[in-house]
Amino acid sequence: MMSRRSGRITLQARDSNTPEPPVRAPLKKRKSEPSKKKLQPAAKKQSYEIQKCWSEDGASPCVLIETPHKELEPTDPSGFKQYRFKNLFIKASPIPQLSWASSDDVWIKMLNKELKYVHDKSYLQRHPKLQPKMRAILLDWLLEVSEVYSLHRQTAYLAQDYFDRFMLTEEDVSKEYLQLLGITALFIASKIEEIYPPKIYEFAYVTDGACDMWDIQQTELHMLKALDWNLCPETPISWLKLYAQVDAQTDGENFLVPQFSQEMYIQITQLLDLCVMDISSLDYSYSVLAAAAFCHFSTFDVVHKVSGLTWESVAPCVRWMTPFMDTLRSEAKPQLKDFPKVKSDDRHNIQTHVAYLDLLRKAQRHQIDLPDCQMSPVAVGAVLTPPSSTEKPANL
């Protein structure tokens, strides 16, 4: 269990013979609870939206539209600010033709979410009592809890996203509340993603008494309001799965049935797990983070084909990720695990946990020693060299 009282982290699977804790009848606000200072929300950023524009030659460019917040709608429409349109030409959707939806529509919806769901590591400036290491310890514990309860990778990554975006809306959060915020984020994520999510008393149980059901329920309401019920981002895992599926797809196959190698997929996800624990990962969009991880197990030509991203947009993240990849190369390759009640073809989707904190420390030491050089990604095991301009795709 992770307990804020003891300061140590341990986690064990719950014994099936252990009786369930009694459920409290109706939960009431504690009389002894001290009044808390109302936290001021962060200033909202302007939102944008990508829309599709059709031309006669069949191309499908997109435009980036600045969209005002609902609460800023004027009472006098005649004096409303005229928002400017900025052309943003995006590579056509790499998703193959679908029988159940328009691949262009699916692609544009995913791109729109990159603009809607904002994350930024600068939130630590709003919380002077917190340090990056505390976030890493919390996420490591959440990955461990996810494996114990056989939660999906998407659930763990949703929890990470909820936590980071929630912290952007708060001020001066103490480290004593991090565990409560983390377990609440995981509780919300499990209800969004899992078919049979664990019960609330199970999430309280893994905190070893540090958080009870009442705490989680009240924090859930606070977090949902702060996130404005925006709970469906495209996480690095969802982008990675799309890239892997597009790369492995052949004509006539059902796009919803995974065609990629499970063994290769869990290696890339382990790299993503490790990188996400570093708060600097928030410097990059989730699509770029997944593309950079995919680069380290493939070539940039493949990444460009499945993502449409340019080398200039991916290169900084690839370089930043190199020490993490070097650290994992010195470790044993991850193996597919068996989980109770999980089918063999779904094992790769279940979140797993290794000694990520130790790996993170090694990777961060490698970051200090790594010279800042221009590198381009090639297949694993080859030497990273500067890309020549003639080797770059013509449409970059």
Of the candidates 143, 166, 138, the one whose C-alpha atom is nearest the C-alpha of residue 156 is 143
User: Can you give the CATH number for the domain in which 339 is found?
Assistant: 1.10.472.10
Q: Measured between alpha carbons, how far is 330 from 328 in angstroms, rounded to an integer?
A: 5
Q: CB within 8 A of 93, min separation 6: which ones?
A: 60, 103, 104, 106, 107, 108
Cβ–Cβ < 8 Å for 49, 67: yes
Domain final residue, candidates 191, 226, 261? 226
| Pair 260, 374 in one domain | yes
Instruction: Indicate the number of domains in the chain.
Output: 3
**CB crowding 212-244: b at 16 or more within 10 Å, else e:** bbbbbebbbebbbebbeeebebbbbbbbbbbbb
Domain final residue, candidates 201, 226, 251? 226
Cβ–Cβ < 8 Å for 242, 303: no
Asked if residue 360 is part of any domain, the answer here is yes
Q: Measured between alpha carbons, how far is 11 from 182 in angstroms, rounded to an integer?
A: 15
| Pair 253, 352 in one domain | yes
Domain containing residue 266: 236-391
| pLDDT tens string 155-192 | 999 999 999 999 999 999 999 999 999 999 999 999 99
| Pair 246, 344 in one domain | yes
| Pair 125, 109 in one domain | no
Q: What is the mean pLDDT of residues 273-284?
A: 96
Q: Band of the pLDDT at 337, cuts 50, 70, 90?
A: very high
Asked if residue 338 is part of any domain, the answer here is yes
Q: What is the mean pLDDT of residues 47-61?
A: 51
| pLDDT tens string 78-122 | 443 343 333 344 567 888 888 888 889 999 999 999 889 999 999
Domain final residue, candidates 100, 116, 132? 116
The residue type found at 43 is A
| Pair 268, 348 in one domain | yes
| Pair 248, 384 in one domain | yes
| Pair 203, 242 in one domain | no
Asked if residue 3 is part of any domain, the answer here is no
| pLDDT tens string 221-270 | 999 999 999 999 999 999 999 999 999 887 767 788 888 899 999 999 99
| Pair 275, 329 in one domain | yes
| Pair 280, 375 in one domain | yes
| Cα dihedral 372→120→90→270 (10° resolution) | 70
Asked if residue 184 is part of any domain, the answer here is yes
| Pair 253, 190 in one domain | no
Asked if residue 35 is part of any domain, the answer here is no
Q: What is the mean pLDDT of residues 63-87?
A: 42
| Pair 248, 359 in one domain | yes
User: What's the chain's average pLDDT?
Assistant: 79
Q: Measured between alpha carbons, how far is 222 from 279 in angstroms, rounded to an integer?
A: 23
| Pair 145, 57 in one domain | no
Asked if residue 108 is part of any domain, the answer here is yes
Asked if residue 192 is part of any domain, the answer here is yes
